[in-house]
Chains A and B, each alone.
Chain A
Amino acid sequence: GAVVSQHPSWVICKSGTSVKIECRSLDFQATTMFWYRQFPKQSLMLMATSNEGSKATYEQGVEKDKFLINHASLTLSTLTVTSAHPEDSSFYICSAPGHNNQPQHFGDGTRLSIL
Protein backbone atom coordinates (compact mmCIF):
# COMPACT_ATOMS: atom_id res chain seq x y z
CA GLY A 1 0.00 0.00 0.00
CA ALA A 2 0.92 3.65 -0.29
CA VAL A 3 3.42 4.92 2.23
CA VAL A 4 2.93 8.53 1.17
CA SER A 5 -0.61 9.81 0.91
CA GLN A 6 -1.28 12.86 -1.23
CA HIS A 7 -4.57 14.73 -1.43
CA PRO A 8 -6.46 15.83 -3.35
CA SER A 9 -5.80 13.75 -6.44
CA TRP A 10 -7.58 16.15 -8.76
CA VAL A 11 -8.57 19.81 -8.46
CA ILE A 12 -10.38 22.05 -10.91
CA CYS A 13 -10.86 25.64 -9.86
CA LYS A 14 -11.21 29.17 -11.12
CA SER A 15 -8.32 31.51 -11.74
CA GLY A 16 -7.39 33.45 -8.62
CA THR A 17 -8.24 30.63 -6.24
CA SER A 18 -5.72 29.27 -3.73
CA VAL A 19 -5.31 25.51 -3.62
CA LYS A 20 -3.76 23.45 -0.83
CA ILE A 21 -2.19 20.06 -1.48
CA GLU A 22 -1.33 17.74 1.39
CA CYS A 23 1.36 15.11 1.54
CA ARG A 24 1.40 12.71 4.48
CA SER A 25 3.92 10.06 5.36
CA LEU A 26 2.16 6.97 6.68
CA ASP A 27 3.78 4.87 9.41
CA PHE A 28 7.04 6.75 9.24
CA GLN A 29 8.41 10.19 9.99
CA ALA A 30 9.70 12.45 7.26
CA THR A 31 11.77 15.42 8.30
CA THR A 32 12.24 16.21 4.62
CA MET A 33 9.83 16.02 1.72
CA PHE A 34 10.25 17.03 -1.89
CA TRP A 35 7.74 18.74 -4.14
CA TYR A 36 7.94 18.20 -7.89
CA ARG A 37 5.94 19.62 -10.77
CA GLN A 38 5.32 17.86 -14.06
CA PHE A 39 3.83 19.64 -17.06
CA PRO A 40 2.16 17.49 -19.74
CA LYS A 41 4.62 15.31 -21.67
CA GLN A 42 7.52 16.70 -19.68
CA SER A 43 9.76 15.48 -16.91
CA LEU A 44 9.48 15.98 -13.17
CA MET A 45 11.14 19.15 -11.97
CA LEU A 46 11.96 19.78 -8.33
CA MET A 47 10.19 22.85 -7.01
CA ALA A 48 11.26 22.85 -3.39
CA THR A 49 12.51 20.84 -0.45
CA SER A 50 10.25 20.93 2.57
CA ASN A 51 11.99 20.79 5.96
CA GLU A 52 10.15 20.00 9.17
CA GLY A 53 10.25 22.94 11.56
CA SER A 54 12.12 25.27 9.23
CA LYS A 55 11.73 27.15 5.98
CA ALA A 56 11.52 25.33 2.70
CA THR A 57 14.33 25.51 0.19
CA TYR A 58 13.10 26.62 -3.22
CA GLU A 59 14.70 25.87 -6.56
CA GLN A 60 15.74 28.72 -8.80
CA GLY A 61 12.82 30.25 -10.63
CA VAL A 62 10.16 29.01 -8.21
CA GLU A 63 8.28 31.85 -6.52
CA LYS A 64 8.22 31.22 -2.80
CA ASP A 65 5.40 33.70 -2.28
CA LYS A 66 3.25 31.89 -4.80
CA PHE A 67 4.01 28.32 -3.76
CA LEU A 68 3.76 28.28 0.01
CA ILE A 69 5.17 25.23 1.73
CA ASN A 70 4.52 24.29 5.32
CA HIS A 71 6.04 21.29 7.08
CA ALA A 72 4.67 21.68 10.59
CA SER A 73 4.87 18.06 11.67
CA LEU A 74 6.99 15.00 11.02
CA THR A 75 4.28 13.44 8.88
CA LEU A 76 2.69 16.31 6.98
CA SER A 77 3.86 18.77 4.36
CA THR A 78 1.53 21.08 2.48
CA LEU A 79 1.92 23.02 -0.73
CA THR A 80 -0.42 25.95 -1.29
CA VAL A 81 -0.65 27.43 -4.75
CA THR A 82 -1.80 30.98 -4.10
CA SER A 83 -3.84 32.98 -6.60
CA ALA A 84 -3.55 30.18 -9.13
CA HIS A 85 -3.62 30.98 -12.83
CA PRO A 86 -4.00 28.72 -15.89
CA GLU A 87 -0.23 28.51 -16.32
CA ASP A 88 -0.06 26.83 -12.89
CA SER A 89 -2.07 23.92 -14.24
CA SER A 90 0.17 20.90 -13.82
CA PHE A 91 0.72 17.58 -12.04
CA TYR A 92 2.17 18.20 -8.57
CA ILE A 93 3.76 15.29 -6.77
CA CYS A 94 5.49 14.93 -3.44
CA SER A 95 8.01 12.40 -2.21
CA ALA A 96 9.59 11.45 1.08
CA PRO A 97 12.94 9.71 1.59
CA GLY A 98 12.86 6.17 2.91
CA HIS A 99 14.66 5.10 6.06
CA ASN A 100 18.38 4.46 6.06
CA ASN A 101 19.11 5.74 2.59
CA GLN A 102 16.29 3.76 1.01
CA PRO A 103 14.54 4.95 -2.18
CA GLN A 104 12.00 7.71 -2.01
CA HIS A 105 8.30 7.12 -1.73
CA PHE A 106 6.14 9.17 -4.07
CA GLY A 107 2.60 10.32 -3.45
CA ASP A 108 -0.04 9.65 -6.10
CA GLY A 109 0.16 13.22 -7.35
CA THR A 110 -2.36 16.03 -7.70
CA ARG A 111 -3.62 17.10 -11.08
CA LEU A 112 -4.38 20.81 -10.85
CA SER A 113 -6.46 22.45 -13.55
CA ILE A 114 -7.05 26.19 -13.38
CA LEU A 115 -9.81 27.54 -15.57
Chain B
Amino acid sequence: GENVEQHPSTLSVQEGDSAVIKCTYSDSASNYFPWYKQELGKRPQLIIDIRSNVGEKKDQRIAVTLNKTAKHFSLHITETQPEDSAVYFCAASFNAGNMLTFGGGTRLMVKP
Protein backbone atom coordinates (compact mmCIF):
# COMPACT_ATOMS: atom_id res chain seq x y z
CA GLY B 1 0.00 0.00 0.00
CA GLU B 2 0.85 3.67 0.00
CA ASN B 3 3.39 5.07 2.46
CA VAL B 4 3.81 8.80 3.01
CA GLU B 5 6.80 10.28 4.82
CA GLN B 6 6.73 13.88 6.05
CA HIS B 7 9.54 16.16 7.22
CA PRO B 8 10.27 17.94 9.43
CA SER B 9 8.17 16.80 12.37
CA THR B 10 8.52 20.22 14.01
CA LEU B 11 9.30 23.57 12.46
CA SER B 12 9.79 26.86 14.23
CA VAL B 13 9.99 30.08 12.21
CA GLN B 14 9.91 33.78 12.90
CA GLU B 15 6.83 35.69 11.86
CA GLY B 16 7.22 36.84 8.27
CA ASP B 17 9.62 34.07 7.32
CA SER B 18 8.75 31.23 4.94
CA ALA B 19 8.04 27.65 5.97
CA VAL B 20 8.55 24.57 3.82
CA ILE B 21 7.26 21.09 4.59
CA LYS B 22 8.19 18.13 2.42
CA CYS B 23 6.55 14.78 1.77
CA THR B 24 7.46 11.70 -0.20
CA TYR B 25 5.14 8.92 -1.25
CA SER B 26 5.72 5.39 -2.44
CA ASP B 27 2.84 4.45 -4.75
CA SER B 28 3.23 5.77 -8.28
CA ALA B 29 -0.52 5.24 -8.78
CA SER B 30 -1.31 8.12 -6.40
CA ASN B 31 -2.65 11.14 -8.24
CA TYR B 32 -4.09 13.40 -5.56
CA PHE B 33 -2.08 15.19 -2.88
CA PRO B 34 -3.90 17.36 -0.35
CA TRP B 35 -2.51 19.34 2.55
CA TYR B 36 -4.41 19.78 5.80
CA LYS B 37 -4.09 22.11 8.74
CA GLN B 38 -5.26 20.75 12.07
CA GLU B 39 -5.69 22.72 15.24
CA LEU B 40 -5.83 20.95 18.58
CA GLY B 41 -8.99 18.88 18.96
CA LYS B 42 -10.39 19.97 15.60
CA ARG B 43 -10.97 18.29 12.28
CA PRO B 44 -8.32 18.58 9.56
CA GLN B 45 -8.97 21.52 7.26
CA LEU B 46 -8.01 21.30 3.62
CA ILE B 47 -5.76 24.24 2.78
CA ILE B 48 -4.60 23.30 -0.70
CA ASP B 49 -4.41 20.26 -2.94
CA ILE B 50 -2.73 19.29 -6.15
CA ARG B 51 -3.43 16.65 -8.73
CA SER B 52 -0.86 14.76 -10.74
CA ASN B 53 -1.44 16.65 -13.96
CA VAL B 54 -0.15 19.85 -12.37
CA GLY B 55 3.35 20.64 -11.10
CA GLU B 56 2.57 23.65 -8.96
CA LYS B 57 -0.42 25.40 -7.46
CA LYS B 58 -0.65 28.61 -5.50
CA ASP B 59 -3.30 30.20 -3.34
CA GLN B 60 -2.25 33.52 -1.83
CA ARG B 61 0.50 32.75 0.71
CA ILE B 62 0.32 29.00 0.21
CA ALA B 63 1.83 27.00 -2.63
CA VAL B 64 2.34 23.34 -3.32
CA THR B 65 4.78 21.74 -5.74
CA LEU B 66 4.70 18.18 -7.03
CA ASN B 67 7.44 16.11 -8.61
CA LYS B 68 5.84 12.88 -9.80
CA THR B 69 9.06 11.43 -11.09
CA ALA B 70 10.73 11.75 -7.72
CA LYS B 71 7.47 11.07 -5.85
CA HIS B 72 7.66 14.07 -3.62
CA PHE B 73 5.59 17.16 -2.98
CA SER B 74 6.07 20.19 -0.80
CA LEU B 75 4.06 22.88 0.95
CA HIS B 76 5.35 26.42 0.98
CA ILE B 77 3.92 29.07 3.27
CA THR B 78 5.24 32.60 2.78
CA GLU B 79 4.98 35.57 5.12
CA THR B 80 4.04 33.34 8.01
CA GLN B 81 1.77 34.67 10.72
CA PRO B 82 1.19 33.45 14.30
CA GLU B 83 -2.21 32.11 13.27
CA ASP B 84 -0.44 29.74 10.88
CA SER B 85 0.76 27.84 13.95
CA ALA B 86 -0.82 24.37 13.83
CA VAL B 87 -0.10 20.81 12.78
CA TYR B 88 0.07 20.28 9.04
CA PHE B 89 -0.49 16.95 7.34
CA CYS B 90 0.21 15.91 3.79
CA ALA B 91 -1.67 13.02 2.26
CA ALA B 92 -1.80 10.95 -0.89
CA SER B 93 -4.59 9.13 -2.64
CA PHE B 94 -5.50 7.62 -6.00
CA ASN B 95 -8.07 10.37 -6.38
CA ALA B 96 -9.92 12.85 -4.18
CA GLY B 97 -12.73 10.40 -3.48
CA ASN B 98 -10.50 7.60 -2.27
CA MET B 99 -9.08 6.86 1.15
CA LEU B 100 -6.21 9.08 2.21
CA THR B 101 -2.82 7.99 3.46
CA PHE B 102 -1.45 10.70 5.71
CA GLY B 103 2.07 11.75 6.49
CA GLY B 104 3.23 11.89 10.09
CA GLY B 105 2.50 15.59 10.49
CA THR B 106 4.53 18.76 11.06
CA ARG B 107 4.02 21.00 14.06
CA LEU B 108 4.59 24.52 12.81
CA MET B 109 5.25 27.25 15.34
CA VAL B 110 5.37 30.85 14.16
CA LYS B 111 6.99 33.11 16.72
CA PRO B 112 5.80 36.73 16.81
Contacts and interface: CB of A to CB of B under 8 A. Distances in A.
Interface of A: 32, 34, 42-46, 49, 91, 93, 95, 97-98, 101-104, 106-109, 111
Nearest to B91: A44
Interface of B: 34, 41-44, 46, 49, 89, 95-105
B100 A43 contact: no
B96 A106 contact: no
B51 to A, nearest CB: 9
- Most A C-beta atoms less than 10 A away, residue of B46, B97, B102: B97
A102 B95 CA distance: 9
A97 B100 CA distance: 11
A49 B99 contact: yes
Given A101-B97, A103-B96, A104-B97, A93 B104 contact: no
Contacts of B102: 43-45
Nearest to B97: A97
A46 B43 contact: no
